[in-house]
Structure 1
């Protein structure tokens, strides 16, 4: 076994509790975190925000990749790649479990749908399967979970990417009709799922195909199309008429090349935030961590860079747009992917850009 895989397996084994019922990972204790003081030269208006510039969260074994803003609670929701949970990160410094482990899976991307009172999550046993920690003779566990936003109760668990040998759902969004769109970085697809839990369509395009990590961050634009980022090569796509029998896929021409695109978030002013990292670059390539803001004046046929900000915290994966600024998460995911110990063991960070 590759040494990095062995190290990653040890990381997950440390988190797994012996004899966890039903094959689920036992949730590690989730202590309240100590929020850091606002810093970084914020203006007085920003300093009066109920959220500090940087939140440092002590939560051993959580390793969150996805984050979303819950406007009802005025709090963040974070998933867990190791425990298969969703937790609430409060502005008051509290960390409270919301969705309990429902299988031995990673919860990766998460999305809040206030119109339907739900939180949606992409889940997969990809990491556990890759490290030989589940019965690989059984089909992969990979899908979309829909949970009650208030109670965390399961509404739907919808398998997707059926028949794929190593699927990995990654990120998801929903449109005004309530349909959910989830990317799969290994199957190189975007799947449309109904609110009732039916797989309606699988969107494929030869440009989605990647030797490594493919379709990743995705957002639904109010004009009715999707914007989706492909991790390898940092390519951005506009998917028109996603509810039609044959959606139209166009690549968005960027003014500057991006090494990768991980998480995406659409801001209220119409700009798009793309998170860049080198967590999964092919062939051991290295790059930089950055948060890039893009804007389009032609309906996302093309886009120009408004801001390209080298990120000060290691391995950012995605971003949550809040009334108090855009918060980027660094969840220590490199330790899960490669076995390299996190630079902040037992902690993760949310930082306002």
Structure 2
């Protein structure tokens, strides 16, 4: 990713930071007209499932990269790449704060651990550092945040920078049985294991994770005890066995075809995997396409085939939240943060049902 810093990018983050300093995020109701109803059949279906097909959410300067479903609220939680917050997004499109800014960081991937009453998130100051907002003489900040699901209070902040020059904590997964947390780092090309009480237990990598582009990205914990991890560059998928041991075993999942990239991923109740693909971080002038793919395996994720590959009409999808009402794909306007070029719908982000 190009780390040169146009003034427009610096201004964007400075405005966002000023907004945080000026007060809490206000609840912004979504006008009824902004709910994309589509045809009559689509509207009836949306009414039955309690969520509209698309939420076009007005929230200037939020720019979420990560989203998860909160079953306790029956609502979405989103991070902010500019404000270092976590917010609740309800079915009516309203946005209310849950986690206040706890550092000058971006909150990226996140997940709800309802069993333990917590929300777990990846945080990093990489964007602020890239855009010249963070003092480069300070050590980088990157790690896992654990917050109370009800109040948003900080429970643990686990530093996972590990001495890397430009660490980029990206996504998190939770082992539901043991409570361990797994964090991907797209800059250091690593996966970090963090205990349920916020202690770093180990870091592991593999030569196949390494890239000069964007590396380990989306991650999920499979009920069978292994991890599935997406590598952004090249659209690769890995199965990681024995992740709680000192020597996890890494195998690349054989795919029938590779997406443009693999960004955020989510495991569906039927055992399939849904993934977002974009060209936000493709370097060297390479271009891809925005699409959402569904992968299915019949051999415990030693291999997988593509059962759906759908071009996505809302630009730059980054990840997916699986809900009881369908899979919702997030397009958070991240390109505007990275390039300074306004999105097609400034001040809005979109959650659209697949």
Tell me which interval the TM-score lies in, with the shorter structure as reference length. over 0.9
Q: CA deviation at 1:50?
A: 0.8
Q: Secondary structure in 2 aligned to 1:350? A: strand
Q: CA deviation at 1:212?
A: 1.0
Distance 1:30 1:11 in 2: 21
Task: Give the TM-score of the pair, scaled to structure 2.
Answer: 0.95
Matched, 1:99 2:91: no
- 1:91-128 per-residue CA deviation (whole Å, 9 max, x = no partner) reads 13321100000111000001100111000010000011
Q: Secondary structure in 2 aligned to 1:156? A: strand
Distance 1:129 1:2 in 2: 9
Q: Secondary structure in 2 aligned to 1:258? A: coil
Instruction: Name the counterpart of 2:185.
Output: 184
Q: Give runs of aligned pairs for residues 71-220 of structure 1, distance below 5 A.
A: 71-175=71-175, 176-220=177-221
Distance 2:326 2:317 in 1: 16
- 1:108-158 per-residue CA deviation (whole Å, 9 max, x = no partner) reads 001100111000010000011112211211111111000000000000011
Task: Give the TM-score of the pair, scaled to structure 1.
Answer: 0.95
- Which region of structure 1 is more displaced relative to structure 2, 6-15 or 275-284? 6-15
Q: CA deviation at 1:339?
A: 1.5
Instruction: Name the counterpart of 1:57.
Output: 57
Distance 2:109 2:254 in 1: 25
CA RMSD of aligned residues (A): 1.8
Instruction: Name the counterpart of 1:286.
Output: 287
Q: Secondary structure in 2 aligned to 1:284? A: coil
Distance change >3 Å, CA 19–CA 199, structure 1 → 2: closer
Distance 1:273 1:118 in 2: 24
CA contact (8 A) 1:232 1:282 kept: no
Which consecutive residues of structure 2, in runs of 5 or more, have no partner in the other structure? Answer: none
Distance change >3 Å, CA 17–CA 318, structure 1 → 2: same
Moved >6 Å (runs of 4+): none
Distance 1:348 1:93 in 2: 10
Q: CA deviation at 1:3?
A: 6.7
Q: Secondary structure in 2 aligned to 1:244? A: coil
Distance 2:227 2:326 in 1: 23
Distance change >3 Å, CA 19–CA 65, structure 1 → 2: closer
Instruction: Name the counterpart of 2:30.
Output: 33
Q: Secondary structure in 2 aligned to 1:42? A: helix
Distance change >3 Å, CA 308–CA 43, structure 1 → 2: farther
Q: CA deviation at 1:47?
A: 4.4
CA contact (8 A) 1:26 1:101 kept: no
Distance 1:181 1:19 in 2: 29
